[in-house]
């Protein structure tokens, strides 16, 4: 009996240590995703099971990006990406949330539909969940994994369903789900987001891979002065977008599923937000009123299709 108690105590200590270790290791590695970076995005379709498939042109783009920690609590870190165009024009880019031992997530089903599901404790234990959001802070995809340190490499990886990427959803409709194989590897020079993606069409209720794709997004550290304009922009405008993030959280919490309309009054969600942002930026409305208007718009985009929400 004494031996059993000692073994149980040792196991409990190891589990507790592992959890503490993942919490610290994760926070340390996520901190390395922040800073000023020269970014290099490369994508190429590599294979299709359909011999008649016409491969799309490979894509290559570059830019400068600031990644800011806009919220950092014990178990959750929120990072905002800001793209810098021509040294001074700032584009609010995507956002990523990192949560330790998350309890629920949104599972993408295709056609702008997500199901809210709990994460089993065993599947979340000592793991970090990354949630990626659109430029208008609408949901994109989530994945869960532990940070791994092996053979002098530090990385986090998972596979998850996502909507079409921004670089494609305005130009093609031959597939509905991008099954993303994500690997984020950090180093002293920056970090690499490597992707092995399946492009999946939903045909008569069945999934079919039409093509596979390789993505390599390199974030290389550069002098902070190259991101000074983005830092100033966020200091001025961050309150507005933090408010939008809060309103999204409220709407998602209240809905069993998320189904987004592509447009409302013939305008995309980001176009509606731009109008509200301009009113707030010109001091025509208060931050509180901007939040009220934004939440109303979000609810109309989300709730318009709730009568057909997935069962």
Give the C-alpha separation, 101 to 124, whole Å: 5
Residue with tokens 């069962």: 311
> Do residues 100 and 120 touch, judged by C-beta distance below 8 A?
no
Q: What pLDDT does residue 19 have?
A: 53
| pLDDT tens-digit profile, the chain (311 residues) | 544 443 333 333 333 335 559 999 999 999 999 999 999 999 999 999 999 999 999 999 999 999 999 999 999 999 999 999 998 899 999 999 999 999 999 999 999 999 999 999 999 999 999 999 999 999 999 999 999 988 789 999 999 999 999 899 889 999 999 999 999 999 999 999 999 999 999 999 999 999 999 999 999 999 999 999 999 999 999 999 999 999 999 999 999 899 999 999 999 999 999 999 999 999 999 999 999 999 999 999 997 555 544 44
Give the C-alpha separation, 1 to 108, whole Å: 49
Residue with tokens 């999204």: 248
Q: What pLDDT does residue 207 have?
A: 96
Phi, psi dihedrals of residue 44, rounded to the nearest 5°: -150, 135
Residues 6+ apart with CB under 8 A from 295: 247, 250, 251
Helix pair angle (269-281, 287-303), 10° resolution: 170
SS3 track for 23-60: HHHHHHHHHCCCEEEEEEEEEEEEECCCCCCCCCCCEE
Phi, psi dihedrals of residue 146, rounded to the nearest 5°: -90, 155
């Amino acid at each position: 009996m004494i031996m059993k108690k000692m073994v149980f105590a040792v196991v409990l200590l190891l589990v507790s240590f592992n959890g503490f270790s993942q919490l610290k290791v994760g926070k340390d590695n996520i901190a390395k995703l922040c800073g000023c970076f020269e970014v290099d995005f490369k994508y190429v379709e590599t294979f299709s099971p359909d011999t008649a498939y016409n491969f799309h042109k490979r894509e290559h783009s570059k830019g400068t990006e600031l990644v800011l920690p806009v919220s950092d609590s014990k178990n959750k870190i929120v990072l905002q990406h800001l793209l810098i165009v021509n040294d001074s024009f700032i584009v609010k880019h995507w956002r990523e949330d990192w949560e330790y031992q998350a309890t629920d997530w949104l599972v993408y089903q295709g056609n702008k539909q997500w199901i809210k599901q709990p994460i089993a404790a065993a599947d979340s234990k000592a793991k970090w969940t990354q949630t990626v959001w659109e430029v208008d802070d609408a949901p994109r995809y989530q994945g869960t994994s532990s940070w791994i340190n092996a053979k002098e490499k530090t990385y986090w990886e998972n596979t998850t369903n996502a909507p079409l990427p921004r670089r494609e959803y305005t130009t093609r409709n031959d597939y509905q789900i991008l099954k993303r194989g994500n690997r984020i590897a950090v180093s002293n020079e920056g970090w690499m987001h490597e992707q092995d993606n399946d492009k999946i069409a939903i045909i008569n209720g069945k999934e079919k891979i039409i093509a596979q794709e390789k993505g390599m997004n390199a974030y290389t550290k550069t002098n902070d002065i190259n991101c000074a304009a983005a830092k100033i922009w966020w200091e001025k405008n961050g309150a507005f977008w933090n408010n939008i993030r809060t309103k999204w959280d409220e709407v998602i919490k209240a809905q069993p599923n998320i189904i987004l309309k592509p447009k409302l009054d013939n305008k995309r969600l980001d176009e509606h937000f731009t109008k509200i942002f301009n009113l707030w930026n010109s001091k025509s409305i208060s931050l509180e009123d901007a939040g009220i208007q934004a939440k109303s718009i979000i609810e109309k985009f989300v709730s318009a299709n709730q009568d057909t929400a997935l069962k």
